[in-house]
Structures are given as C-alpha cells and as structure tokens.
Amino acid sequence: MHIVIMGCGRVGSALAQALEEQGHTIAVVDRDPTAFRRLGSSFGGRRVTGIGFDQDTLREAGIEDAGAFAAVSSGDNSNIIAARVAREMFGIENVAARIYDPRRAEVYQRLGIPTVATVRWTADQMLRRLLPSGAEPLWRDPTGGVQLAEVHTSAAWVGHRISRLQDETGVRVAFLTRLGEAILPSSQTVLQEGDLVHVMMRTDEIDRVEAVFVKGPKEEGGH
C-alpha cells in the first residue's frame, strides 16, 4: 500500500520508518525540509516539501494512489484540515489525525474523522503503569460478547509459559508488549518481568479472568 504522512516530527518519522519496514511505499510531507533528516539515509520513500493540506502538494506525494493518510504534524488545525482534504477531496478511506486537544478530538471523532488524542492517550497509558489493576479494553466485537484487553498480570506469573496462563484462565493471549515491542507468543513463550499481556476473552468472563491473573498460577498438584 502507498501511504502519505503529513508531519516529519518524531511521530511522523517513526511511523514512516515502521511502515516502510512492513513493505509499504511511503511519502512524507513537511513544510520544513530540514525535518526530513529524522528519516535517516536508509529511508527509501518520497520527501515532499510543502503544506500538508495543499492539494498539489498531496498529489506530488502520490495521494491519488494512496490507500491511507496520516496527519501527525504539531498543529491540530492543520491535521484536521489535511485529514478532511484526504478523505473528502481524494476519497481516502483510511485516514487518521493526531489531535492534542481531547475535547476537539471528540468533536472530530463524531464527524467521522478517526483521531488520536495525544494528551488523553498519554495520560491513559501513564495511569495504566501507575495503577496497573484490572483489564483495559482495547477492542470489542460488534455484539460486545468478545473483547481484546490488556490485563494486569501478577509477578507470580513471571517464569511461567503462556500455555499455562491460557489453560488456567481459558483466554487466548493475542500478543505481548515486551520492552516496548509487540511480540506474538507461542505456547512455549515464558512470561518475563515487565511484560504487558493482551488477551482475547468473553466480556462476561472479565472478573474471573482478572482474579486469576492477579492471584497467580495454581500450586503444583493443587485444585
């Protein structure tokens, strides 16, 4: 897929590099040509100097052939204008805008522009690290019966295999976040200190699953 990114700050450059590593073609737009230094010499995508919501600039970045557009500049107004231009003028379905003001993000979300409210997201993530209890829902299916959630895991599980965690809780571990990187575990993967565990489970099982995660594994030979 070809993806256009507006903004070559820390987020935009990291996003561009990650997407390119996954095999996508990337064009990064920024009004400051010196910002492209963050991409590094190995970056093979396009570097387009210009205003990210200018239609000619977007065409130069290949917006007409793009499958997705991300607006991650430092300006809320610029991001939302660019996102609307990408969607409404060029028909891009996969559009997302980074918004610093959480109240403004809610308004645009209701208008159908997917937003990432930076301040609220960061605050939520900090709370998860400071008060690591319970389950944090990340996704629910349309019926609400199944959800993906990050579940606080007791240190008692460290050193035990994923297979044991799954057997005792009845959940499916979807992925782990380890040292900031997401990994897909096998049944033989051993939990390490600091791992964040993301599981698929039935919504009506949340309380039971949380209790098992907090309590730790059963004693050998126990019931």
Average pLDDT for residues 119-133, to the nearest whole number? Answer: 61
Higher-confidence residue: 28 or 107?
28
Residue 181 has pLDDT above 50, yes or no: yes
* pLDDT at 154 (0 to 100): 84
Higher-confidence residue: 59 or 116?
59
Cβ contact 125:182 at 8 Å: no
* pLDDT at 50 (0 to 100): 96
Banded pLDDT at 57 (limits 50, 70, 90): very high
Average pLDDT for residues 112-117, to the nearest whole number? Answer: 76
Helix 118-130 × helix 102-110 angle, to 10°: 110
In sequence order, what are the beta bridge partners of 161? Answer: 190
| CA distance linking residue 60 with residue 119, whole number of Å | 32
Average pLDDT for residues 88-109, to the nearest whole number? Answer: 85
- Compute the half-sphere exposure of residue 54: CA atoms within 13 Å on the CB side of its CA: 11
In sequence order, what are the beta bridge partners of 138? Answer: none
* pLDDT at 73 (0 to 100): 93
Q: Residue 44 region, left (φ>0) first, then alpha (ψ -120 to 50), else beta?
A: alpha
* pLDDT at 43 (0 to 100): 94
Residue 223 has pLDDT above 50, yes or no: no
Q: What is the per-residue pLDDT across 161-179, written as a single tens digit (0 to 9) for each?
A: 999 999 999 999 999 988 7
* pLDDT at 51 (0 to 100): 95
* pLDDT at 125 (0 to 100): 59
* pLDDT at 103 (0 to 100): 77
